[in-house]
Structure 1
Amino acid sequence: MNWDQIKGQWKQMQGSVRKQWGKLTDDDLEQAKGSRDQLVGRIQERYGIAKEAAEREVDDWSKNAS
Structure 2
Amino acid sequence: MNRDTIKGQWKQLSGKIKAKWGKLTDDDIDVAEGNFEYLVGKVQERYGIARDEAEKEVREFNRMP
Could you report, residue by residue, the CA deviation over 1:20-56 in whole angstroms, capped at 9, with x for unpaired residues? 1010000000111101100000001100011000000
Which runs of at least 4 in structure 1 moved beyond 6 Å after TM superposition?
none
Per-residue deviation at 1:19? 0.9
What amino acid is aligned across from residue 17 of structure 1 in structure 2? I
Q: Which amino acid is the alignment partner of residue 30 of structure 2?
A: E
Sequence identity, in percent?
Answer: 54
**TM-score normalised per structure 2:** 0.94
For CA contacts below 8 A with separation 6 or more, give which structure has more relative contact order. Answer: 1
Please state how far the C-alpha of 1:63 moved relative to its aligned partner.
Answer: 0.4
- Give the RMSD, CA atoms, in angstroms: 0.8
Unaligned 5+ residue runs, structure 1? none
Q: Counterpart in 2 of 1:31? A: 31
Unaligned runs of 5+ in 2: none
Query: Does 2:49 align with 1:49?
Result: yes
In the TM superposition, what is the alpha-carbon distance from 1:16 to its structure 2 partner? Answer: 0.6
